[in-house]
Structure 1
Amino acid sequence: MTLPSLVAQKRPIDHSSYDIWKNISSADISKSGNHIFYTVSPQEGDGYVELKDQKNRLLQRFERGTAPKMTKGEDFLITLIKPAFKDTREAKIKKKKSEDFPKDTLTIFKLENREQVTFGPIKSYKLAYDATNYLAYTQDIAKSTEKTDSTKNKTDSSSNAKKTPPAKKENVLVLYNLYKKDTVQFWKTDSYFFSNDEKYLAFTKKTGPKDSSDIDGLYLYDLAKKSVKKISNGKGVYKNILFDDQSNRLSFLADKSPDKALQKDFKLYLYNIGQQDSAHIIVDKNTKGVPTEWYVSGDGQLGFDQKSDRLFFGLAPIPPVKDTTLVEFENAKVDIWHWQDDYLMTQQLVNLKRDLGKSYDAVYNLQSGQIIALIDDSFDRTSYTDDATQEWILATSTAGNRIAYQWQAYQLQDVYAISTRTGEKRIIKSKWQGQAHLSPDASYIVLFDETNGNWYSHEIASGNEQLLNKGLQVGFANEENDMPTASPSYGIAAWAEDNKGIYINDRYDIWYFSLDGKKQKSITNQFGRTNKIVFRALLIKDGTPRNRTAKIKENTALWLTSFNETNKENGIFSLMPAKKQNPKEIIQDKFTFKNFKTDENGKVYIYTKENYTSSPDLYVNKDFKIEQRLTDINPQQEEYNWGTAELIAWTTPNGHQAEGILYKPENFDPNKKYPIIAYFYETLSQGLYTYQAPAPTPSRLNIPYYVSNEYLVFAPDIHYQTGHPGKSAEEYINSGMRYLAKNTWVDSTKMAIQGQSWGGYQVAHLITRTNMYAAAWTGAPVVNMTSAYGGIRWGTGMSRQFQYEKTQSRLGATLWEDRDLYIENSPLFFMDQVTTPVAIMHNDNDGAVPWYQGIEMFTALRRLGKPAWLLNYNGDDHNLIQRQNRKDIQIRQSQFFDHFLKGKPAAKWIKSGVPATKKGIDWGFDQQ
C-alpha cells in the first residue's frame, strides 16, 4: 500500500473532534531539577497531572489533577483534584446551588514511598513560600447544634417524631503535618496566611452578626510550640496580613467599624512577635503625617523592607458619604460629561471600582515612628527595586496631560525620583514621551525617548545624564513600526550584576552600556543584524522568564533565544558576555520553543516545542545538550488528515517583497483543484512553526479544520502605508491570492477571505474593490470610519479617535484635516460595489468595536439587495467568549464556505434564515 493511499484513509476533522485536543499548563521543575510536573487538560473534559523524573520515568499520575505544587525539600507533591466533568455538568443541568456543586479534593503524594493521602471536599489550600512540613486547607464541616439526648428513642419512626434538622456547616481551617499526618483544626475561620519560613500561621475568625461570642479577631499559631494566641480582637474586616522576612513582625489592615457604618475606617496594625500581648495601631487617619482628609487605604498593599526597618502602606483621600436620607426614586440618575475632565465619563464609569480603591504609597519608619506620604493623587504609578532598603523610588505623573490620550495614544509624563527617607521629590523629566526604569540599586533612572529613539541614564544623586547609545548607527526604536506614531523601544534585556550597567535590545542584538556612559558594546557582536537573527536573553527568575529585574553575570554563560527572520526558524544560542565573540548555535530548528522553566542552578530546562505538524509537547534538556521528550498529549492527531505549512514569497504590484504562509492538506494532490481561503490580520508569517490546535475559535478562521477538510488556507503578511490601510490590504492580499491562483491546483473561481476585527475591516474593504472572491466572512468590522472615529471602545470606555490618527487604522490625520481619507477607507460608502456574498459576525456586547458598525454594513447591503447575513451572539464580546457560541460559529462558518466554495446545499439559516419565533428551537443547521 502506498503512502498517499494511507493518508487518504485518514478522516477529516469534524466539529466533534475539538474537545479531545489537549494542552499543557502549570509545567514546573523542582529546585534540584530531579522532578518535573505538569497538568494536561482537554478542551472539555477531565485532565490529569503527571509527575516524572528527569529521565522521563512516570512516578505518579493524578486523574483530574490540576495546579500541582512541590514542597521545598521535594518530598511531597500536592495537587488539587477537580470533580468529574460529567458531575459538574449534571449539576449545571439541574441548576443546583453553588454549595451543592461537586467540590475539589486535595491529594498529597509522598515521593519516597509513593504513599498518597486525599482530603476533601476542600474549599482552598495554601503552602508557605518555603513549604517543608505543613500545608493548610479549609473545608466546611457539619457541627450539630443539638445536644445529645440519651433518653431519646433512636428507633422512633412515628409521625410524631421530630425530624432532625440538618447539621450546620462551618468553615474550618485545618493545619496538616505532612510527615506526622496529624492535624489541628481552627473553627469559624475566614482567611489564613503562612509566614514564608513556615514558622507561623495567621488566621482570622469571623462569626455572624447574631453571634455574641468573643471569638472574632486575628490569631497567630506558632507551629513549633503548637500554641495559638489571639493578637487582635473584634468583629471587622482584616486584610493584607503580612509577615516580615525574618518572621519577627506581622502587619495588617483592619476596619472594626460597625457593620452598618457608611464609611470604612481601616487602621494599620503592627505586632512584634514574642514581644507583645497584642497588635497595636501604628497609623490611622489622625496620625501625624497623614494628609488632612486622608485615611489608611484598605486597598493598599503592605510591604516590609528587607531589614524590617520600614513598612510601606497605602493612603487615600476620604471619600464623600452618600446621603441616605434622600429618597432613591425621587432623584435623577445622570452622568455629567465635562470637556476638561481628565478622562471621558465612559472611562470613569468602567474604572469606577478601581478608582474608588486607589491608594497612594506611604512609608512608616518602624524606628522613629515617622510617616512619609510618598505620592498623592496626581501620580499614576510607582516603581521599586527588589531591594526595598534603597532610598529612591521612581514615580510618574500624567497630571495635566491626560486629555490628549483621546487622540494621540500616549500621555506625556513627568518623571520623579522620590526619597523614601525624606519624601523629597526630584523632577527628572518633564512632559516625557517614552519609558523610565529604575536601576536595581536605585542609583540611576534609565530612560528611552520615543521622540528620537535614544537611551539615556540619569544619576539620581548628581543629576548627571548620559546618552548611552551615542555615536552608534544602530537604531533602538522599532524599525518595523508602520503606524503614524513614535516607535517604542525593543526593551531592556537585563541589568549588570554589579549594578553599573544595563543590557538593552535592538531589533536583533543585545548591547551592554555602562550607566556612566563610558562603555558600550554589542555582546552578541552584531551577529544578529548581520544574519537577521533576533536574539533575546533567556533569563528566568522565580520560575518565570523575566528581564526587567533580572541580572546578567558577565563571566557566566548566557543562554539566548533566537528567531531567524529569513526562514522563521527558532532556537537556542550560548554566549559568554565578557568575551568578544559571536553567539554559538546550540539549537536552530523548524520549531517554536516556549514556556521555559529551569531548576535552581539554571542547568536543567523544561520547555514546550511545537510546529504546525507537532503538538506543543513538553521536553527536558540538561545544559541544552540532550533533549528528552516528556509527553505525547495529542496522539489522536495521527488519525486525522492534518496538513503542512510552508513559506510563500512573491512581489506585489508596487514592487514590495511579500511573505505569507500557505497551509495544505496532508493528502494534498497537485492534480486536483482546491478552494482557497485567505485569513489575515497584520503580519502572521512569524507563526510559520506554530501549532494550531483544532478548536472552536473566538471567530478567527479555524485553520486546521479547513485544511483537514481539503481547503487551502493562505495567511499573508500586510505592511501599511499611512493614510491608506485599505489599499495596503489590496496590495498584499489580492496580489498574494493572484500569485497562488497561477498554480493549477488552486481553483481561482473558488477563493474566499476571512478576518476578525482589524482583519474584518480589511475583508469589508476588499469586497468593495474586487469581485475575485466567491465568499467572504467578516467579524466585528469597522465599515464607517467617520462614525467609528467618534465612537467608544466600551470595554475600556476610551474614545476611538487615537486608533485612527495614531495606531492601527493608520490614517495619520483627524477627520477634519482629511475627511477624504476617512471616506476612502470606509467600506460603507462603497457597498454598492459589492458582489460577494458576505457573512458578518458582530455581537451586542462588543467591548472594542461598537456593534452598530456591523449593523451599518448589514443594513446597507440589505438595502442594496446584496446577499448578506448578520450573526449576533447575544451578550457575547468582540471575540467570542462562551464556548457554546464558539462551537456554533464553527458549524455556521463551515456550512457557509462549503456552500459557496464547494457547492454543497445551503443550510436553512443561509437559505431562509431563522425567525425570532424559532430562536432557540430551530438552529437552522439542516440543509434544504
Structure 2
Amino acid sequence: MNKRFSLFLLSVVMCIHAFAQEEKESPSKERKPISWEEISNWEALVTGSGQVSPDGKWFSYTLKEVEGDGKLVLEATDDTNNKKTYPIGDTSRPRMDFSENSRWLAFIEYPNFKDKKDKSKAKKLFNKLILLDLKEDKKVVFEKVQSFTFNNDASSILAINLNKDGGSGKGSDLLIYHLENGTKQNIGNVLEFSFNKSGKYLSYTVDAANQSGNGIYLFDVDNNRTHVLESDEASFKSIHWTEEGDGFAALKMTKDKKYKQELGAVIGVKNLTSPEVIVYNPKEDSVSFPDKYTISPNQRPSWSDDLSQLFYGIHDLELAKKPEEKKPEVNEDSLKALETEKIASLRADTTIKSMADLKKALSKIERANASPNTQPKNADKPSMTIWHWKDDQLQSRQEKLESSEKRKSLYAVYNIENKKHTTLQDSTLSDFMILPKQHFAIASDAKPYELQSNLTGKSYRDFYIIDIESGEKTLWKEKFYIPSGASTPKTSPDGTKILFAVDGHFFVYDLITKEETNLTADLETTFVNTDDDHNVIKPMNYPLGWDSESKYVLLKSEWDIWQVPVNKKKKALNLTVNGENTQTRYQGRFGIYPDEKGIDLSKKQYFRAYGEWTKKSGVISLEGSKSGLKPGPKVLIWEDVMIGQFTKAKAADTFIYSKETYNTPPAYFLTNASFENPKKITDDPKKLDEYTWSSGVKLVDYVSDKGVKLQGALFLPADYEEGKKYPTMVYYYEKLSYSLHNWTSPDFGRTGWNPNVYTSNGYAVFMPDITYTLDDPGMSAVWCVIPAVKAAIETGIIDEENIGIHGHSWGGYQTAFLVTQTDMFKAAAAGAALTNMISMYDLIYWNSGNGNMAIFESSQGRFTGGPWENWESYERNSPIYHVKDVNTPLLMLHNDKDGAVDFTQGLEYYNALRRLQKPVVMVQYKGENHGIAKLENRKDYSVRMMEFFDHHLKGKPAPEWLESGVKAIDLDDHLKERAF
C-alpha cells in the first residue's frame, strides 16, 4: 500500500468517525411547542375504545385524528408482536365487536373526513362492515351496512342489516352470513331483528310495501327453518328476549281510521322448539281492559321470569276527528228582526261616503253580532303561551316535556293463565319500576311537591308499593326527602327488599315481612357525603350495591367500603380497613363479571383507590368467600398516574387497564391475575415526540381563608428551568386538584381551553380547589383561589407579574367575580359567566326549561332562600354590583343561544364594563349554546384566547381584533383571513 493511499484511507476513517460522533451527540429531531394549526392532524386514542376478546388473546382499540380519520389497531396479547391496522373512517364512537368464541372481529368502516365535508358526496356515502377471521387471517367486506350482530354464544352467524334500497316499506334487507362456510341468506324487508342468548334463534319483524307479508318470524339457526308466528296487515316491533333466551315479546300495531293512534296488541312467544304464540288484543277484552286506552308502542313489552305474565304499556286513545256539532235551528222571526236593525243602523251612519265605507260598516256590524261559535273555521289562531303562577312546572319546562308526555304510557300486565289484564300504574305515578322476580313494583308520585320542588330544588316524593298479582297500590313513604340520588330506593336482586336512606342512615325494608331495619345506626362511622357542600341535608355516599343473594349491601363511608348484613345478627365489616389511616378513598367497584345480578361475594372483587393528598390512583382486590368478602385490600396497582378503564377478558384471567399522566397520553396495559410485569400494548400518538410537553407537576398545599386544608395541581411549562419564573394560567371549577395526573389531548375544546397546549407553549398552569360556604359562592372563590395562588408563587415557578385566570360557566362566574375583588391577575377570560345573581335567579335554564331558582337554592348556587330573603348575599356575590372595581383586561365569551346562562348575563356585564370604559372584549358565536359545538368556531376561539393571553402575559403584539375591534362590515373578510 503506497503512502498517498494510506493517508487518503485515514482521512476517510476520521471523517466517518467524526460524522458518527456528531450524530451520537446531537438529537435526531428538535421538539417544538404544538401550534393550534398542527392540532388538526393530532392523533389520539379514542377514550374507552379498548376491547379484549373473550378468550383474552386479542385486543383492539382505535386512534383518530382531530380533523381526520381513525384506525383500528388489532394486536395479539401474546409475545408474537402480531399487530395489524385497519382504516375506520371518521368517527369518534367506533363500533366493533368480538364474537363470543373469539374467532371473529367485526367493525364498521365509516366514510372518511374529507368526503363527509363534501356536500356533493354526502348522500352517496355509506358504511362498510369489515369481518376478520382471526384464526385464518382472512377479511370479508360488506357494503352499505347499517348495523350488525353476532348470534351471541353460538358464534356461528353474523346478521347484517343493510341500507334500505327503495321500496315503500320501512324494512330493509337482512343478510345472514354463516361464518364457518361463508354462505349467505337474504331476508327482505326486515325492520327489527334479535338473537336469543344461546344464538340458536333469531326473531325478526317484516315491514314491507303495502304491508304485504308483514309479521313476526322465528328463524331456527341450527335447522335453517323459519316459523311464521304472526302475520297481518299491521306493523310489528319492539322485540324483547328474556335474559335466558327462552321466550320473547313483541308488539303488533294496527291502524284504525277512527283514532289518531294505532291500536296495539301484545305478542308473547315461548316453547321455542314448537313455538307457542300468545296474543293479547285489548279489542277482544271488554271486561278488564280500560275504555279509551290501547297498547302503547312507546314501551317495550317483556315476559316475567317464569313466562306466566306479559308486561307492557298502555296509553290514551284519541279520536281522529271530533264529531261535528249539531247546527242550531234558525229562528226566522229573530233573523228578520236582526236584518231590520242592521238596515236602520246603516241609514243612521253619517260617516258612510263610499262603497268602501259601506263594506267597513257592514263588517263592523257582523263582528258585533257574531257569537264565538260562529267564527269562520279557517281563522288564524294566535301563537302564544300563558304563564300562570299556579303552574307546577314552568311553561318552558312543559314545552320541553311535551313530546315525552305524549309518549308516556302506564305499566300493565296480562296473566296468561287466567287471561286477565291488570293496569298497574295510574296517571299520578312516575318512575315506575317492576322489581326482580316480578312480584312487586315500586313507583313514586312527586305531584304534591312538584311546584315547591321546582321553586326551591328540595326534592320530595310519595313512594308506593304495587302488588303485581292484585294490582293493589299501598303508600309506603310519604313526603320522602331526596337530598341526592344515593338516598333513593334500590331493590335487592331477589326483589323482596329495598335499600334507602333517611336522615344520614341507610335502611332496608322487607316487602314480605314489612319490617324496616336501620343498617348503620350502630356503626362507628358515617355514610354521609361530607364533601358535598350544596344546600341539602345529609346527602349520602352512593352505595356500591346489593350482593347477589340479597343478604348484604356494600356501602361507602368517607374513606372505606363496608359490607353490611341485612340480618342484624351478623356483624358489619370494614372491608378496606385502612382508608382513613392512609387517607385513601376507596371509591367504586369495577364491574368485570358480565350478566351479574348483584355482587357475587364468593368471587374476587376489584375496586378503585385514590390517594386524597397524593393523587395516586390504583386498583385493589378483596378476596371472596361463601360468607362474604374478606377484609384486607390487596394492592394490585398504586402509582402516580390516573387509572382509567379496567376490564377483564370474559373467559380468561387476562386484565386490561389504561393509565395516563400529565405528559403521557392514555395507554392500555395487559397483565394476568398476578398483576406482575404489566405490558404496554398500545401505540403512542404518532406525533407525540415532535412536540414539547409539561416538564413536571407539583402539588401545592394551602389553607383557605376559612381554614380549610386544600390543594392545587401545578403543571410546569415545557423545557422548565429551575429558578426561572413563567407566565401562568390559573384555571378552576370547584375541585380540580385530582387532575394532577390527567392527560388532556390536544384538541379544540368547547370552551377554548386546553392545558397541554398552554404548557407546551411555555405557560405554567395552576388548578386550585375551591370549597364553598353557603350564601357566599363568589367570596368562596376569593377565599380559596387567592391563597392558592400565593402558595403557588412561593414555589418560585410562577411569575407573579404575569398571571392570567380563566373559567367557563360556573368557572366563568368565579372569574367575573374575582376580577372585581383583586388586581393580582394581569388578564382574565370568562366564558358563559353568571354576572348578576339577582337577575339570574329569576331567569330560565333554557336547555331544560326549568327555572334557575332551584339551582341557586339547592344546587351549584349554594344560597339559602331567594334574593328577597337574602338580598345582601346575592348582591355581595354578584360581579355586576362590583363592576366599578374591575381593572383587569377581560375577554368574555357568551353565545346568543346559551341555554344554561342566559345571553343577557354576558350583555349586562359587558355593557357595564364598556360604560365605565374598562378593557373588555366579548366574542359571540351565533347560534351556539353553552359550549361551542361547531368545529370552525372552536378553532377560532381557541386561537383568540391564546392570542389574548400571549399579549397580556408574554408581551406579544396585540392582534387587530384585540387592539381595535372589527367593524361589522369588515367581519366576513376578517374571519376568512383567519380560518384554517
| Offset from partner CA, 1:433-479 (integer Å, 9 cap, x none) | 13111111112111111xx2111111111221111112223111111
Comparing 468-477 and 777-786, the one that deviates more: 468-477
Match in the other structure for 1:785:
837
Offset at 1:131? 4.9
Mapped partners of 1:836, 1:596: distance in 2: 45
Gap change, CA 1:218 and 1:521, over 3 Å in 2: closer
Residues of 1 paired with 2:163 and 2:976: CA distance? 47
Counterpart for residue 467 of structure 1? 518
Aligned to 1:645: 697
Q: Trace 1:243-392 onto structure 2 (pairs within 5 A).
A: 243-244=241-242, 249-257=247-255, 262-271=260-269, 280-284=279-283, 286=285, 288-319=287-318, 330-385=380-435, 388-392=436-440
1:4 Cα shift? 13
Distance 2:165 2:508 in 1: 63
Separation in structure 1 between the aligned mates of residue 777 and residue 321 of structure 2, nearest angstrom: 50
Which of 86, 101, 107 pairs up with 1:62?
Answer: 86
Matches for 1:432-443 after TM superposition, within 5 Å: 432-433=480-481, 434-443=487-496
For the 8 Å contact 1:509–1:522, the answer to whether it is kept is no
Aligned to 1:159: none
2:944 aligns with 892
Counterparts of 1:827 and 1:335, CA distance in 2: 33
Cα distance in 2, alignment partners of residues 324 and 717 from structure 1: 66
Question: How many pairs align?
Answer: 889
Name the residue aligned to 1:565: 612
In the TM superposition, residue 805 of structure 1 has moved relative to its aligned partner by 1.6
- Is residue 2:165 matched to residue 1:112? no
Q: Secondary structure at the match of 1:351?
A: helix
Letter in 1 for 2:500: L
1:431-830 aligned within 5 A: 431-433=479-481, 434-449=487-502, 452-524=503-575, 526-540=577-591, 543=594, 549-553=597-601, 555-576=602-623, 578=628, 581-600=631-650, 603-623=653-673, 624-643=675-694, 644-699=696-751, 701-742=753-794, 744-830=796-882
1-structure distance, mates of 2:668, 2:796: 40
How far is the alpha carbon of 1:836 from its aligned partner? 1.2
Amino acid across the alignment from 2:400: V
Could you give the per-residue CA deviations for residues 315-339 of structure 1, whole angstroms, max 9, x where no partner exists?
2233576769995761123323333
Aligned to 1:15: 36
What is the distance in 2 between the residues matched to 1:8 and 1:118? 40
| Paired residues of 2:493 and 2:548 also in contact (CA < 8 A) | no
| Distance (whole Å) between structure 1 residues aligned to residue 632 and residue 839 of structure 2 | 54
Partner of 2:191: 190
SS for the counterpart of 2:783 is helix
Contact 1:407 1:806 (8 Å CA) reproduced? no
Task: Determine the C-alpha separation between the residues in 2 that align with 1:829 and 1:631.
Answer: 53
> Which stretch of the first structure deviates more once superposed, 400-409 or 49-58?
49-58
- 8 Å contact kept, 1:406–1:800: no
CA contact (8 A) 1:482 1:720 kept: yes
Which has the higher Rg, Structure 1 or Structure 2? 2
More deviation, 74-83/739-748: 739-748
1:309/1:367 contact within 8 Å kept: yes
Instruction: Tell me the secondary structure at the aligned position of residue 400 of structure 1.
Output: helix
Distance (Å, rounded) in 1 between the aligned partners of 2:176 and 2:633:
51
Mark the runs of 5 or more structure 2 residues left unpaired by the alignment.
Answer: 1-21, 325-375, 482-486
* Alignment check: 8 A CA contact 2:62 2:72 kept: yes
Distance 1:8 1:120 in 2: 43
Higher helix share: 2
Q: How far did residue 275 of structure 1 move?
A: 5.3
Aligned to 1:223: 221
Query: 1:353-383: per-residue Cα shift (whole Å, max 9, x none)?
Result: 1111112222222222222222122122133
Contact 1:494/1:502, CA 8 A, preserved across alignment: yes
User: Cα RMSD (Å) of the superposition?
Assistant: 3.0
Distance in 2 of aligned mates of 1:59 and 1:367? 57
Q: Secondary structure at the match of 1:173?
A: strand
For 1:403, what is the secondary structure of its paired residue?
A: helix
Matched, 1:419 2:442: no
Q: C-alpha distance in 2, partners of 1:510/1:169?
A: 51
Q: Aligned pair 1:124/2:123, yes or no?
A: no
Separation in structure 2 between the aligned mates of residue 97 and residue 315 of structure 1, nearest angstrom: 40
What is the distance in 2 between the residues matched to 1:169 and 1:402? 41
Q: 1:672 to 1:527 in 2, by over 3 A?
A: closer
Instruction: Flag the 1:389–1:700 CA change in 2: closer, same or farther, 3 A.
Output: same
1:11-44 alpha-carbon deviations (Å, 9 max, x no partner): 0011023232312343222222222222222333
Provide the C-alpha distance between the structure 2 equivalents of 1:891 and 1:4, rounded to a whole number of angstroms: 37
Distance 1:284 1:705, change over 3 A: farther
Q: Which residue of 2 aligns with 1:171?
A: 172
Distance 1:522 1:314 in 2: 43
Q: Distance in 2 between the 1:836 and 1:191 partners?
A: 60
Displacement of 1:267 in angstroms is 2.1
Q: Which residue identity lines up with residue 240 of structure 2 in the other structure?
A: L
1:243-301, Cα deviation, whole Å (9 max, x unpaired): 44565644321222158963332222334556579774444595543334332111012
Residues in 2 aligned to 1:168 and 1:584: alpha-carbon distance in whole angstroms: 59
Counterpart Cα distance in 2 of 1:523 and 1:266 = 53
Conserved? CA contact 1:768–1:827, under 8 Å: yes
TM-score (norm: length of structure 2)? 0.85
Name the aligned partner's letter for residue 293 of structure 1: K
CA contact (8 A) 2:191 2:237 kept: no
Distance in 1 between the 2:527 and 2:570 partners? 17
- Give percent identity, aligned residues only: 26
Matched residue, 2:334: none
- 1:896 Cα shift? 0.7
Letter in 2 for 1:774: K
Shifted more, 909-918 versus 502-511: the winner is 909-918
Question: CA, structure 1 residues 580+47, in 2 after alignment: closer, same or farther (shift >3 Å)?
Answer: closer
Q: Equivalent residue of 2:45, what SS?
A: strand
C-alpha spacing 1:647/1:829, structure 2 compared with 1 (3 Å): same
Segments of structure 1 that go 5 or more residues without pairing to the other structure are: 146-166
Q: What aligned pairs does 1:887-926 form with structure 2 within 5 A after superposition?
A: 887-923=939-975
- Who is 1:401 aligned against? 449
Separation (CA, whole Å) in 2 of partners of 1:693 and 1:586:
27
Aligned mates of 1:229, 1:178 — CA distance in 2: 23
| Equivalent-residue separation in structure 2 for 1:617 and 1:829 (angstroms) | 48
Residues 773 and 836 of structure 1 are in contact (CA less than 8 Å); yes or no, is this contact kept in structure 2? yes
Alignment correspondent of 2:930:
878
Instruction: Quote how far apart the aligned CAs of 1:874 are.
Output: 1.4
1:145-160 correspondence runs (5 A): none
1:33 aligns with 2:59: no
Query: Is residue 48–residue 62 contact of structure 1 (8 Å, CA) maintained in 2?
Result: yes
Q: Which residue of 2 aligns with 1:163?
A: none
Q: Answer yes or no: is the 8 Å Cα contact 2:171–2:206 preserved in 1.
A: no
Measure how far apart 1:653 and its partner are.
4.2
Deviations 1:724-775 (A, max 9, x none): 1111111111222233334554322221110000100011111111222211
Structure 1 residues 556 and 227, CA gap change in structure 2 (3 angstroms): closer
Counterpart in the other structure of 2:17? none
